[in-house]
Amino acid sequence: MSTIAEEINKRRTFAIISHPDAGKTTLTEKFLLYGGAINLAGSVKGKATARHAVSDWMEIEKERGISVTSSVLQFNYGGYCINILDTPGHQDFSEDTYRTLMAADSAVMVIDASKGVEAQTRKLFKVCGMRGIPIFTFINKMDRDANDTFELLDEIEKELGIATCPVNWPIGSGKRFKGIYDRHENHVLTYSDTQKGTREGETTVISMEDEAGLLENIGDEALSTLRDEIDLLDGASAEFDLDEVRSGKLTPVFFGSALTNFGVEIFLQNFLKMATTPLPRISQGEPVSPVENAFSAFVFKIQANMNKAHRDRVAFMRICSGRFDAAEEVKHVQGGKVMRLSQPQQIMADERRILSEAYAGDIIGVFDPGIFSIGDTVCAPRDNICYEGIPTFAPEHFARVRQMDTMKRKQFIKGVNQIAQEGAIQIFQEFNTGMEEIIVGVVGVLQFDVLKYRLENEYNVEIKLEPLPYEYIRWIENKEEVDMTKLTGTSDMKKIQDLKGNPLLLFVNQWSIGMTLDRNKGLVLSEFGRA
């Protein structure tokens, strides 16, 4: 029998981040393939005949071929228990990605070799930087024509402000892609295209001392270029330092092709050795030890209607310390109640398996009757743990929501409330007018499409969205000291409130914010709310 410490130390929990179309979902599937969690990787392209990505479960995701919401995947490989948090790449869903990164101990950054660092990569990297979590880089699509390798590394360093250390090095790209050179082992692994979706490929390992073997497999020109590049690399790149990696200051870089499986298993093996065991989380200013403390967890995501048949709501929890036992009671800190977590389950995209136990580092889903909020803490009944809340992004796009059939008011209110509790949209109402007028705020406009789609498909409610001109929202920090009825603003300002009755202000122009502050001495505005 393994001890609790042994079980926890086997865990590796990481998020995969990238710009859309860099190959993140394909890489995730190949990891699952190596772990034996799936037998055949599906193509993630949006063809009618293609299998959908394992991690994409929402109907709208399958129709559009994009990931809208994060999903959680667990599998075993090489003595490790791996929890992958697959995140949406599209910028309109970056808030979901941000919350998911709060539950990860490290991140894998996937970069398209022909495009380099893209806009969304920068944004997500910034979030990782804020948390100081280790980042591992996989430069993908080497089987296609790629940018100059040194320029790719230079771009990562300049754009993201992190040192790079290539663990392996590509030999050509596109049609001239011959394989990779392993710097630590001082040998070459030759590239061969595999059958789509399978894990077997013909890879030959050739020592750098084996001149004849190298010439036969990669050719004179590629070998000469490789030797020149190795000399340059040894003089130019940062030394590998595991402490620097784990503090988020140095990113190990790997090259390969997720679509054809080349370089994926090597990356996975190296990553598992370098990545940390579950890290302590902060509660009231103090670190909580994953191994020494009893069970504790926090809610980082809520998802309604994952299973159409059940119409249920699942709260995703990251276990931060100790062992979870489904038979034992826990304390919901914010609700002040001692309870049992209902239907604890491990979720593999849309498949579920009921759990009796789990450990720090694991992600579990529990049935939520409507009591949990994002950022909530659960812990052992006698403990006094309360993890820091998760900041909410300020919405940048607003629309008034009108329901087409007023007889379906009840379903409409239930639908917008449940979707808002997941954190993807924020709902407001006109100040002091009740729920008649509902205003929706989102970080990215695609969220409006998702809201409309889900209300129609999950709640049978048709809506019309009327875009509003507002671009800036501010929370009132000192609401107890402010009389909203006497607050004087600008002509482009609108007073609203959230579902908890907190007053907020919307503005069309940024300069109006400063003018409103000038006109109301003592008013304190904030760009962030708290989930």
Spell out the residues 6+ positions from residue 105 whose beta carbon is closer than 8 angstroms to its own: 12, 13, 14, 133, 134, 275, 276, 277, 278, 279, 361
CATH number at residue 39: 3.40.50.300
Q: Considering the domain boundaries, does residue 325 fall inside one? A: yes
Q: Considering the domain boundaries, does residue 310 fall inside one? A: yes
Strand partners, 415: none
Q: Considering the domain boundaries, does residue 449 fall inside one? A: yes
Spell out the residues 6+ positions from residue 485 whose beta carbon is closer than 8 angstroms to its own: none
Residues 262 and 354 in one domain: no
pLDDT digits (tens, 9 = 90+) for 425-475: 888 888 876 556 789 988 777 778 888 888 888 889 999 999 999 989 998
Asked if the model's pLDDT at residue 46 lies above 80, the reply is no
Q: Considering the domain boundaries, does residue 220 fall inside one? A: no
Q: What is the total count of domains within the chain?
A: 3
Asked if the model's pLDDT at residue 308 lies above 60, the reply is no
pLDDT digits (tens, 9 = 90+) for 286-305: 999 999 999 999 998 887 66
Residues 291 and 430 in one domain: no
pLDDT digits (tens, 9 = 90+) for 325-334: 999 999 999 9
List, in sequence order, every beta strand (DSSP E) within 227-285.
250-255, 281-283
Residues 35 and 155 in one domain: yes
> At which of 348, 379, 410 does a domain end?
379
CATH number at residue 325: 2.40.30.10
SS3 12: strand
- Pairing between strand 80-86 and 11-18? parallel
Q: Considering the domain boundaries, does residue 228 fall inside one? A: no
CA angle 354, 357, 362 (to 5 degrees): 90
Residues 425 and 503 in one domain: yes
Mean pLDDT, residues 124-142: 86
Residues 350 and 410 in one domain: no
Alpha-carbon torsion, ordered 316, 320, 321, 322, to 10 deg = 30
Residues 424 and 519 in one domain: yes
Residues 269 and 286 in one domain: no
Between CA 247 and CA 131 the distance in angstroms is: 10
State the pLDDT confidence band at 182, using cuts at 50, 70 and 90: very high
Between CA 331 and CA 334 the distance in angstroms is: 9
Residues 286 and 268 in one domain: no
Residues 333 and 468 in one domain: no
Q: Considering the domain boundaries, does residue 46 fall inside one? A: yes
Q: Considering the domain boundaries, does residue 475 fall inside one? A: yes
Mean pLDDT, residues 202-212: 87
Domain housing 526:
393-530
* Cβ neighbourhood burial of 498 (10 Å; 0-12, 13-18, 19+): middle
Residues 252 and 323 in one domain: no
CATH number at residue 522: 3.30.70.3280
Q: Considering the domain boundaries, does residue 191 fall inside one? A: no
Query: Which one-letter DSSP state was computed for residue 275?
Result: S
Question: Is the distance from CB of 57 to CB of 349 less than 8 angstroms?
Answer: yes
List, in sequence order, every beta strand (DSSP E) within 28-157.
71-77, 80-86, 106-112, 135-140
Residues 132 and 266 in one domain: yes
- How many other C-beta atoms lie within 10 A of the C-beta of residue 99? 27
